[in-house]
Structure 1
């Protein structure tokens, strides 16, 4: 449990890498962690894809509904642009899928969660895995200027949902698709809202 937390909050920030190198480093760390701890992502699970696509469609519908409501759309358009110093298309097609979704799902849902389930039982394991996932986000929250307690709480809750999907499907594909929809939607929605708000 301590290894991912130390990587995300201590070692990776001290490497002072740019976005492209950080994505490569995260993916390399995740792959090594999964190999070391017997991670079983089962990416090609048909059940995982079904659950993941349904979950992702719910999130997509939520973002679409939010954009359709003028008051919500106007509020979304005021959110700060969090795009890093890479082209936006590169961010949503490379860095979110690989640097975030692949890396985090491989570490947590494919490797750590099953290990904790086997050690502490499914209920305690789920809580411990989700809490570790929350703690993984301390430094990213600081770097983004977000509230650390709120970010840890939100990502812990997300970790519980992702872990439930993994346990139901025995695959990291389902939480990965949900995770991808959440993060890509969160990047796209404010930009779409800003464009829709502009006068013709």
Structure 2
């Protein structure tokens, strides 16, 4: 297991800090290496979650449709629309956004995370320690895996940092709108507060993705790897489309961005 974790850590650093655009290549190579290591240790394809394809497709497809409904509702409501406006997505050209949604997310992110955490880590531990231990360890590692992305997310979406600092949704939106309408009255920047908000976003992200990992593990246990993979892909890839949609809709007191 330490060797598998080392492969995941190396891929995480490469994808998030050293060569993000090469994420699909890095993730594909890391995935192949992890599968080879697991197979060499005696794991079967079923142990790794490569089974129940039809059932996984049906369940994963239904969950992906649910993501569309949830995102549509979130963007439609002014109170939650702000949290879809991620500068990482809005700063991309249309071609780059398509690359992220159709290549970087499915191959650079979901492939490695699902096969790595729900396939190899879960499958290896489930064989010797049982499903409960496999779920706990896999989900904890999955949460920690998101530390670097969470730091980037906090910088790209300040609204999340404000929400994580304990401010309610209404207060957060009101403060942001006031800063836009009266920038001269905005309080001076406080670096320490930014760092504190970032830390809160990171902790919240680790906890949230750890909990998501438990859900993904249960989906994998019942339906194979395809179900959580489709759900995971929809959750991440559709974010790019809905970020652009949210950017072109008005807030309570503001105009569309155009």
TM range (shorter): 0.7 to 0.9
2:244 matches 1:191: yes
- For 1:55, the equivalent position in structure 2 comes to 63
- For 2:230, the equivalent position in structure 1 comes to 177
Whether contact under 8 Å (1:8, 1:139) holds in the other structure is no
Counterparts of residues 19-98 of structure 1 (less than 5 Å) = 19-38=20-39, 40-42=48-50, 45-73=53-81, 75-76=82-83, 79-83=85-89, 87-98=96-107
- For 2:204, the equivalent position in structure 1 comes to 150
Query: Residues 5 and 112 (structure 1 numbering): CA distance in 2 closer, same or farther, change over 3 Å?
Result: closer
Q: What is the distance in 2 between the residues matched to 1:123 and 1:44? A: 21
Match of 1:141 among 145, 150, 154: 150
> TM-score scaled to structure 1, two decimals?
0.85
Q: What is the distance in 1 between the residues matched to 2:241 and 2:30? A: 27
Root mean square deviation of aligned Cα = 2.6
Whether contact under 8 Å (2:8, 2:30) holds in the other structure is no
> TM-score scaled to structure 2, two decimals?
0.68
Query: Residues 5 and 160 (structure 1 numbering): CA distance in 2 closer, same or farther, change over 3 Å?
Result: same
Q: What is the distance in 1 between the residues matched to 2:68 and 2:51? A: 21
Task: Provide structure 1 residue ranges, at least 5 long, that are not aligned to the other structure.
Answer: none
Which has the bigger relative contact order, CA under 8 A and spacing at least 6?
1
* Shift, 1:12, TM fit: 5.0
3-state DSSP of counterpart to 2:114: helix
* Shift, 1:11, TM fit: 6.3
2:140 matches 1:131: yes
Query: Residues 101 and 109 (structure 1 numbering): CA distance in 2 closer, same or farther, change over 3 Å?
Result: same
Task: Provide structure 2 residue ranges, at least 5 long, that are not aligned to the other structure.
Answer: 40-44, 155-197, 251-255
- For 2:13, the equivalent position in structure 1 comes to 13
- For 2:184, the equivalent position in structure 1 comes to none
> How many pairs are equivalent?
197
3-state DSSP of counterpart to 2:88: coil
